[in-house]
Amino acid sequence: MKVLCVIPARYASTRLPGKPLKDIAGKPMVVRVYERASQAGLVNETLVATDDERIKTAVEAAGGKAMLTRADHATGTDRLAEVAEAYPDVDLIVNVQGDEPLIEPGLIDQLAGLFANEPDLKMATVKTEMKDEAEQKNPNNVKVVCDKAGYALYFSRSLMPYPRKGGCPVYKHIGIYAYRRDFLLHYAKMEPTPLEQAESLEQLRALENGYRIKVVETKAKFVGVDTVEDLERVNEIYRNM
């Protein structure tokens, strides 16, 4: 099974313009993500997909590989599908967000490894338990609930499950995905769905069309970079690593 890890990186960011090129301990953030993702043992190739020449230049200057993609993609899935079209020999595509400089290589391997044992699996992602009440109620933290077999039942920005009697853990969805290439190309062509549009969560398109999403749990802690404060926190972590 040939695995391609793709890191989408757009220069534009509402809260943190030029985010992929922000400095983390002496290197651009997108390079830090690339370096960590490249350490995954099951990945044959790692690639940054970007719409900006500055990002491509930064990645290549650090010895990485980057591909310029169209600037008019409506979603990250569309950008990923453009890359998939250019790699017809790939079986599996793992999507790692360009603002996750603390991504664990072992988690990428865990996600990719699912597909070797489940021939019918088309899509998989990651969750981690949230115990802080403020984090649980934050709509920027997407929640996921799963069935007993580990497949997603629903994703939402709302707190779920509702703690009427308590005792049920709350899981945060981590935006790392793995797709079989043929399914990704099909998925990108599906029309947006009502729940997807209501929640602004693209993965709901797959569920609404009847496809199952496997969800693996991780104990790893992530600090996605969306604000200046996040950037300072990640820099502190890198300095102490």
The total of structural domains in the chain comes to 1
Looking at the predicted structure, is the pLDDT value of residue 2 above 90?
A: yes
Q: Averaged over 90-115, what is the pLDDT?
A: 94
Asked if 25 and 234 touch (Cβ cutoff 8 Å), the reply is: no
d(CA 170, CA 166) in angstroms, rounded, equals: 10
Q: What is the CATH number of the domain that holds 201?
A: 3.90.550.10
Over the stretch 203-219, which tens digit does the pLDDT of each residue have?
Answer: 999 999 999 999 999 99
Give 130's strand partners: 170
CA atoms within 13 A on the CB side of 174: 31
- Predicted pLDDT of residue 54: 96
Q: Averaged over 154-161, what is the pLDDT?
A: 96
**Domain carrying residue 43:** 3-228+234-238
Over the stretch 79-101, which tens digit does the pLDDT of each residue have?
Answer: 899 999 999 999 999 999 988 89
- Predicted pLDDT of residue 16: 81
Q: Would you tell me how many other CB atoms lie within 10 Å of the CB of residue 164?
A: 6
Whole-angstrom distance between the N-terminal and C-terminal Cα of the chain? 33
What are the distances in angstroms from CA 76 to CA 35, 79, 96, 98, 176?
21, 5, 11, 11, 12
Q: What single-letter amino acid sits at 134?
A: A
- Predicted pLDDT of residue 12: 79
Asked if 162 and 176 touch (Cβ cutoff 8 Å), the reply is: no
Report pTM: 0.92
Q: What single-letter amino acid sits at 183?
A: F
